[in-house]
Amino acid sequence: MFTKILIANRGEIACRVAATARRMGIATVAVYSDADAHAKHVAACDESVHIGPAPAKESYLCADKIIAAALATGAQAIHPGYGFLSENAGFAQACADAGLVFIGPPASAIDAMGSKSAAKALMEKAAVPLVPGYHGERQESDFLRAEADRIGYPVLLKASAGGGGKGMRVVERSEDFEAALASCKREAISSFGDDRVLVEKYLTRPRHIEIQVFADGHGHCVYLFERDCSVQRRHQKVLEEAPAPGMHPDRRAAMGEAAVAAARAVGYVGAGTVEFIANQDGSFYFMEMNTRLQVEHPVTEMITGLDLVEWQLRVAAGETLPLKQEQLRLHGHAIEARIYAENPEKGFLPSIGTLTRMRSAPAVEFTLAAPGATQPAAVRIDAGVREGDAISPFYDPMIAKLIVWGEDRDAALRNMARALAQYQVVGLATNIGFLQRLIAGQAFATADLDTGLIERHRETLFPTPARPTTETLALASAALLQQEKRGQANNDPWAQTSGWRLNMPLRRTLSFEDESGHSSVTIDYAGDGQHWQLQVDGSTHTLALHESDTESLLINLDGRTLRAHVAREGQWLHLFDGRSQHSLRYLDPMAHAGHAEAEGGRLTAPMPGKIVALLVEQGASVAQGTPLLIMEAMKMEHTIAAPSAGTVEALRYAVGDQVAEGAQLLDFKAA
């Protein structure tokens, strides 16, 4: 077994690998960019090496720097994690050439599966079912459009070298093909350095089911059951679970055997995932093989009691697989939710900022019982950031992976709902509220799954913002009153906040706003500093405040006890009541109003990025919703559209220009 390994990655996967290595007594080396000098994964390892500036192409994608760091620190092997260089055949070969073990498949297997087109040709020879489509080398636009016309719409364009949902477009009509192809190729060349695409028939209401395979260097290969990853947005997974709901044992065996056949066809070694698209009728087709550990591998670990990173290390060190196929058992049900810094209500736009507060459900650090043991922990959190850390524009905005286990799917769902409700994140937007609505929705709760679930249930998943309840407004008001009580000076009559007045009690109005609009609460002070009368929407309520600590709030509203955790961020009050988060902006009458950030006719960059396409010319008259330009940020394309009918008076940037968050992109005059 190795005595020291280098982890060529960052974030939660680097922390995850380091945890298993520590348990096995293997020393670890972290690598880090300028942006990650104080990151959690650096602290999780025994030593660390700086490898360059923040952009990944100057640090985490620099194979020569990573190999030099491994050699300089005496590491014997390199674990690539996922993303970055994990599926780069050239990197795997460079490791071997340098005398280092690449903890993953051989370069030949990565190369074989790295091109989706070549992989599908191999799978056809191995008798693995394929989706109808064109997987060849010809890339002329007219030819690809003709192939799409032949296959029949809708079709799916996919980057041949892609993964992670990047470089994928659904095309509904022939006349939309060229624009979709151009966008797909731009994203593909940016993300993978290769703009080749393939065209496939887009199946309606398919499920995304993948099989975890594992092979050693001694000819053994097994499948560790399946994961259902159907719940996606922008072709990126949101929720994953194992086993797949409704999976019949015969179908599981057929898919598992097809996955093993796919792995054997390329001489696979190590952990890999064979992804299938499955029809509701039970038929399934090969999509691709990911030649690495998957983001969602924890759900497989939770139902098998196995540590897949430990298996990776043992296989890379030349050992045989710890178990045979007939020895593998699945137990219970596991679900994983990806907690992201993003705004679902704004097209899942990534959010950048500092995690000024991050609290979660009680969970265990990554630990698993020995193979064959029964119940694992009910809640597991794999995180690569801590409270106080920043989510930067340079890398994927994942905050954590929340994984829960239950004796059955219903128990796992209850554990997930409870764990999500206990999350408290302040400092940036997150998808936690969206995830809560998603798992509570009838479709997911009843396992009516397919890759279009989110779009199909958009109305319930993205509801019109509701006005805050009386309970929420009472808690927000009490939070302000409590802060005033704590801030008053002792024995100073001019600093008292009891509301005492000479001839009548004080009446005061507190104003708040959120995405639903403006709300106000009128407060009549009783004079004792503990009781108040609240007027909300014409109704009167009695409020009593109980003392608590600086982060907790306990009140009595009309005889009912309410509790919440409170975090104040400037004028914003964030209330966590054990079920959900409510954020209200307090409109302090003593604060300066300031100036509105947005001006009429101004369209600004939602985040730092690069201009990749200008879709209109200066002077163009456009209708509302017309795409004006395309930005690339965090490896995703974002289209800036006209807010109304009007005229483009000036374009301030050219294609290729980098722009800062909030930069004015163009001058626009509304009609």
Which of 416, 424, 298 shows the shortest CA–CA distance to 360? 424
Residue 652 structure tokens: 């301030």
Q: Are strands 658-659 and 168-171 parallel, antiparallel or unpaired?
A: unpaired
Q: Choose among 184, 164, 8, 31: nearest CA to 101.
A: 8
CA-CA-CA-CA torsion sign (597, 601, 607, 608): negative
Our measurement of the distance from residue 451's CA atom to the centroid of its chain's CA atoms, rounded to an integer in Å, reads 16
Residue type, 650: A
β-bridge partners, 523:
508, 534
Residue with tokens 């989110």: 454
Give dist(CA 159, CA 155) in Å, integer: 13
Beta strands, E only, 538-663? 539-546, 552-557, 560-569, 572-576, 581-586, 602-604, 609-614, 621-622, 627-633, 636-641, 646-651, 658-659
DSSP 325: G
Helix, strand, coil tally for the chain in percent (to 5): 30, 30, 40
Residue 324 sits at φ, ψ, to 5 deg, of: -95, 165
292 in active site: yes
Residue 293 and residue 106 in contact, taking contact as beta carbons nearer than 8 Å: no
Cα–Cα distance list, 320 to 32, 217, 259, 315, 384 (Å): 33, 7, 19, 6, 31
Cβ atoms within 10 Å of 466's Cβ, excluding its own? 10
Cα-Cα-Cα-Cα dihedral of 620, 598, 434, 577, to 10°?
A: -170
DSSP string, 471-483: HHHHHHHHHHHHH
Q: Which residues, including other chains, have CB under 8 Å from residue 494's CB and lie 6 or more apart?
A: none
DSSP-derived pairing of the beta strands 197-201 and 155-159: antiparallel
| 544 closest CA partner among 446, 617, 644, 475 | 475
The active-site residue out of 10, 207, 292, 380 is 292
Q: How many CA atoms lie within 13 A of 550 on its CB side?
A: 3
The pair phi, psi for residue 635, each rounded to 5°, is 65, 15
For 62, the token pair is 């620099």
Quick one: residue 211, left, alpha or beta (phi over 0 = left, psi -120 to 50 = alpha)?
Answer: beta
Among 55, 11, 17, which Cα is nearest to 35's?
A: 55
Report the run of H or E that residue 301 belongs to, with start and end. Answer: helix 297-304
**Tokens read off for 633:** 């940020």
CA angle 293, 296, 302 (to 5 degrees): 100
Catalytic residues: 292
